[in-house]
Amino acid sequence: MTESVLEYHETTLAEEPNDFLKALPAEEYARLRPALEVVSLEVKTTIYVPNQVIRHIYFPRTAILSILALDNENAVEVATVGKEGMVGLPVFHGIGVTPHQCLVQVAGESYYMPVESFRAELPGLPYLRALLHRYSVSTFNEAGQSILCNRLHEIEARCARWLLATHDRVNGSEFSLAQEFLAYMLATRRPAVSEACSHLQRAGLIAYTRTKIRVLDRAGLEAAACTCYQITRRSHAMVLDPLGSSGV
């Protein structure tokens, strides 16, 4: 990704806030704000590549980012990051590179700051550090649950799970999601993705084209999903609500 293709503009937290930034005490947000800009991200924009230095931290607003594990020409999604999270966890843990790739899965906007600024401010941000420790556990849990899910559950249930996870991160019932990313998410080939989505469409749960999904029956989609969806959802909820008082 090159900075020349990024579009910056001013914004406020009132406009589609990132959950992390919204949760920060005012004094911690004030320390981060001077280094934050908003970037418009297109689908398949590369955020970082394997084994190269991570240059920027991202707090997505409306964009959804996909972290992929690679094996030659094959890729499987390790984690999805939307407005509930941050991209750049290796930097938080003192590691400047990663074997994974990060791409934009759903176009939108994200807060964005240089790694140097993030590292400089982090010692004075105890609340953010606590959030990121919990988020690291949640991300580990998500990756582990995905391994189990891809190994044990039927593709239609897995597809329903991932569509729900994406739906949670966007506004409205319709979103763009290419078959390529669904294949990454489900660790399978595109024909199998098409068949799974067609099955959910025939059941009246979604409307589906090659690049767009519309959720027609949220409750029905939850019923069709495997239990991994609720397990992962509860894990993410406890990042901001560590005592589980939200009842999610």
Cα separation of the two ends of the chain: 37
- pLDDT (0 to 100) of residue 51: 94
- pLDDT (0 to 100) of residue 177: 82
CA 128 – CA 108 distance, rounded (Å): 24
Enumerate the H helices of 50-171 as residue ranges. Answer: 89-92, 115-121, 126-152, 155-168
Residue (of 210, 212, 195) closest to 155 by Cα position? 195
pTM of structure: 0.86
* Domains delineated in the chain: 3-124 (2.60.120.10), 148-240 (1.10.10.10)
- pLDDT (0 to 100) of residue 127: 95
- pLDDT (0 to 100) of residue 10: 41
- pLDDT (0 to 100) of residue 14: 46
Considering just the CA atoms, what is the radius of gyration of the chain in Å? 18
Interacting residues of 224 by C-beta distance below 8 A, sequence separation 6+? 156, 157, 160, 200, 203, 205
CA 118 – CA 30 distance, rounded (Å): 13
Residue 177 structure tokens: 């999601």
pLDDT along the chain (248 residues), means of 10: 36 65 92 94 94 96 92 84 95 96 94 96 95 95 88 91 92 84 79 89 92 93 95 91 60
Greatest C-alpha distance within the chain:
53
Block residue for tokens 């749960």: 205
- pLDDT (0 to 100) of residue 209: 84
